């Protein structure tokens, strides 16, 4: 315990140095803008802005990218409340009651509750991250290739199980991502696979062009054709203070959302999206006035907003401690860390304490920065939404091209972005989730290497995966998930994923 606080003090010394603080502030500011803009979610935002961090040292770069991540999570709530447009998917639930509050003239109060709830959730979940990640990393030192293989298989299955809609579709998309990850030089034999003479594909298909294509480009393709001017409710600064009754109604949902979000965040999957749905359902169930939900219930804003911000920190636990991303956003963060020569995993905390504890401390600082930034500047951010989309999307396309090209100075990456953009557009039209593709792409090399190393260790005997206790338990859990996933095929009823998918579309289940 004392050691943790000593490390944290060291982290604050790093995070509060003017250079790092400036980049935390910049990250939060840009992230909020990214979250406010429809069509640029946190994933595309981090990918696009990765080249902007190339000139920085690893600590500043990671602090800035993390600032973009949670800034985008905050910013997403602004458009949800003021326009009924979720800036990113996790803010879908905030649209319902947040916009209803805005229509009643309580837009400022809704924004303040969302910001304070996010601040409390963000801060509390960083405390949990701080205490959970080091022991988990210590435990993970026992992991060898068979355990990593089992963990990665479990991670992919959990992601598929936690996806909205059909598990079968999600698994097919994860395998598509794994297949894309097979392109390039085979790490063990040096053979070129599926490169067709394109030298740039030797290092494999990059996660940045795929993420920007699937999430950024496909979004502007879907939105540009359907651009309809939206009414923007502009709150006044003096309306930002919620009433005493509103604070009372928000208090417990904020704390429930915080813990729920953190726990869901650790589990692989689109945690920040699922956590906001679960929190909304829990609040409605616990409320004495469930009939108010959908008509401007304060708990309907406080719970989901806290949950999705808390899940953001939760998602960093497996990434920092195990080096295994739990979803597409941590996967891109992991890729970004690798670009800067940082390898997250059990040894990170021991080998690079400056970076780890500086990062943790910067999350505390970032939450304060966001609280200070979001409320007074809400009017400024809202003005961004007044830019007509026909002028906005060409600019987003330009940033996409810069972001993707600059990672490797390669036009091949721009072509990959265009191809995956078209793929994402078609898949989203057909209602397929694209997040498992990104995770599959990132995990493919790790999965293949751990499988082949395990077989080399066991002299080719597959029993190694079930005779080692940790890997046997992880694979057992994976099997349980497969069986749970098969249940709706047998019962032919709507399971929770199908109901969630209907809720996302605004249809009754």
Could you list the residues that contact other proteins (CB under 8 A)? 51-52, 54-55, 166, 168-169, 171-172, 175-176, 178-179, 182, 186, 188-189, 191, 193-194, 217, 220-222, 224-226, 390-391, 393-395, 397-399, 401-402, 405-406, 409, 411, 414-415, 417-418, 421-422, 425, 429-432, 447-448, 451-452, 455-456, 459-462, 489
* Closest separation in Å from C-beta 381 to other proteins: 20
Query: DSSP per residue over 324-352, as a string?
Result: --SSHHHHHHHHHHHHTT---STTHHHH-
What is the token pair recorded at 304?
A: 């989901």
Our CB check for other proteins shows the closer of 136 and 179 to be 179
Our CB check for other proteins shows the closer of 222 and 240 to be 222
* Closest separation in Å from C-beta 143 to other proteins: 20
Under DSSP, the state recorded for 430 is T
* Closest separation in Å from C-beta 55 to other proteins: 5
H or E stretch covering 94: helix 92-103
Our CB check for other proteins shows the closer of 65 and 132 to be 65
| Burial of 489 from C-beta contacts in 10 A (0-12 / 13-18 / 19+) | exposed
Our CB check for other proteins shows the closer of 32 and 450 to be 450
- Other beta carbons within 10 Å of 294: 12
Our CB check for other proteins shows the closer of 202 and 376 to be 202
Question: What's the rounded Cα separation, in Å, for the pair 463 and 441?
Answer: 27
Question: What's the rounded Cα separation, in Å, for the pair 406 and 152?
Answer: 30
- Report CA 188 to chain centroid distance, whole Å: 31
* Closest separation in Å from C-beta 221 to other proteins: 4
What is the token pair recorded at 490?
A: 């047998």
Task: Tell me which residue of 30, 52, 90 sits closest to 329, measured CA to CA.
Answer: 90
* Closest separation in Å from C-beta 431 to other proteins: 7
Q: How many helices (H) and strands (E) does the chain have?
A: 24, 2
* Closest separation in Å from C-beta 199 to other proteins: 15
Contacts by 492-501 with C-beta closer than 8 Å and gap 24+? 497/161, 497/162, 497/163, 497/164, 497/165, 497/166, 497/167, 498/165, 498/166, 500/164, 500/274, 500/277, 501/164, 501/165, 501/431
Under DSSP, the state recorded for 462 is T
Place of tokens 């504890």: 357
Our CB check for other proteins shows the closer of 331 and 451 to be 451
Task: Tell me which residue of 330, 243, 362 sits closest to 47, measured CA to CA.
Answer: 330
Question: What's the rounded Cα separation, in Å, for the pair 237 and 377?
Answer: 9
Our CB check for other proteins shows the closer of 248 and 505 to be 505
Please check whether residue 141 is in contact with residue 481, taking contact to mean a CB–CB distance below 8 angstroms: no
| Burial of 2 from C-beta contacts in 10 A (0-12 / 13-18 / 19+) | exposed
* Closest separation in Å from C-beta 46 to other proteins: 15
What is the token pair recorded at 208?
A: 């940045």
Our CB check for other proteins shows the closer of 286 and 411 to be 411
* Closest separation in Å from C-beta 398 to other proteins: 5
* Closest separation in Å from C-beta 54 to other proteins: 6
Our CB check for other proteins shows the closer of 230 and 287 to be 230
* Closest separation in Å from C-beta 9 to other proteins: 32
Our CB check for other proteins shows the closer of 260 and 407 to be 407
Our CB check for other proteins shows the closer of 94 and 450 to be 450
- Report CA 163 to chain centroid distance, whole Å: 13
| Burial of 459 from C-beta contacts in 10 A (0-12 / 13-18 / 19+) | exposed
Our CB check for other proteins shows the closer of 246 and 448 to be 448
* Closest separation in Å from C-beta 460 to other proteins: 2
H or E stretch covering 509: none
* Closest separation in Å from C-beta 406 to other proteins: 5
Under DSSP, the state recorded for 193 is E
């Amino acid at each position: 315990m004392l050691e943790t606080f000593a490390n944290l003090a060291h982290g604050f010394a790093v995070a509060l140095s003017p250079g790092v603080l400036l980049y935390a502030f910049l990250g939060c500011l840009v992230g909020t803008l990214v979250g406010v803009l429809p069509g640029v979610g946190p994933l595309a935002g981090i990918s696009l802005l990765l080249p902007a961090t190339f000139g920085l040292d690893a600590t500043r770069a990671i602090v800035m990218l993390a600032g973009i991540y949670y800034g985008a999570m905050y910013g997403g709530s602004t458009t949800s409340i003021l326009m009924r447009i979720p800036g990113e998917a996790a803010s879908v639930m905030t649209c319902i009651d947040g916009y209803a509050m805005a229509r009643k003239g309580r837009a400022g109060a809704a924004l303040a509750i969302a910001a304070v709830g996010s601040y409390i959730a963000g801060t509390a979940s960083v405390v949990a991250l701080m205490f959970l990640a080091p022991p988990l990393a210590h435990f993970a030192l026992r992991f060898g290739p068979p355990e990593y293989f089992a963990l990665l298989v479990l991670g992919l299955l959990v992601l598929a199980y936690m996806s909205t809609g059909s598990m079968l579709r999600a698994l097919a998309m994860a395998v598509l991502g794994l297949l894309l990850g097979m392109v390039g030089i085979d790490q063990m034999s040096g053979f070129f696979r599926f490169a067709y003479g394109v030298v740039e594909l030797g290092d494999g298909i990059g996660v940045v062009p795929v993420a920007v294509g699937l999430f950024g480009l496909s979004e502007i393709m879907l939105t540009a054709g359907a651009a309809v001017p939206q009414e923007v409710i502009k709150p006044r600064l003096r309306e930002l203070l919620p009433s005493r009754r509103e604070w009372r109604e928000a208090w417990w949902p904020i704390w429930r959302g915080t813990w729920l979000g953190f726990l869901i965040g650790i589990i692989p999957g689109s945690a920040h999206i699922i956590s906001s749905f679960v929190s909304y359902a829990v609040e409605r169930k616990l409320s004495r006035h469930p009939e108010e939900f959908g008509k401007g219930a304060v708990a309907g804003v406080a719970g989901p907003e806290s949950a999705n911000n808390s899940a953001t920190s939760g998602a960093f636990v497996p990434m920092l401690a195990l080096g295994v991303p739990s979803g597409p956003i941590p996967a891109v963060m992991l890729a970004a860390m690798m670009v800067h020569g940082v390898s997250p995993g059990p040894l990170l905390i021991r080998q690079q304490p400056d970076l780890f504890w500086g990062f943790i401390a910067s999350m505390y600082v970032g939450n304060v920065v966001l609280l200070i930034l979001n409320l007074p500047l809400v009017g400024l951010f809202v003005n961004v939404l007044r830019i007509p989309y026909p002028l906005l999307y060409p600019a987003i396309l330009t940033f996409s091209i810069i972001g993707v090209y600059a990672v490797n100075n390669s036009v091949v990456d721009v072509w990959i972005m265009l191809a995956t953009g078209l793929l994402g557009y078609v898949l989203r039209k057909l209602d397929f989730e694209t997040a498992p593709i990104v995770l599959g792409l990132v995990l493919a090399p790790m999965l293949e290497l751990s499988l082949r190393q395990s077989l080399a260790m066991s002299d080719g005997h597959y029993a190694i995966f079930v005779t080692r206790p940790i890997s046997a338990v992880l694979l057992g859990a994976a099997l349980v998930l497969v069986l749970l996933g098969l249940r709706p095929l047998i019962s032919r009823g709507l399971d929770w994923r199908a109901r969630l998918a209907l809720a996302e579309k605004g249809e009754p289940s």
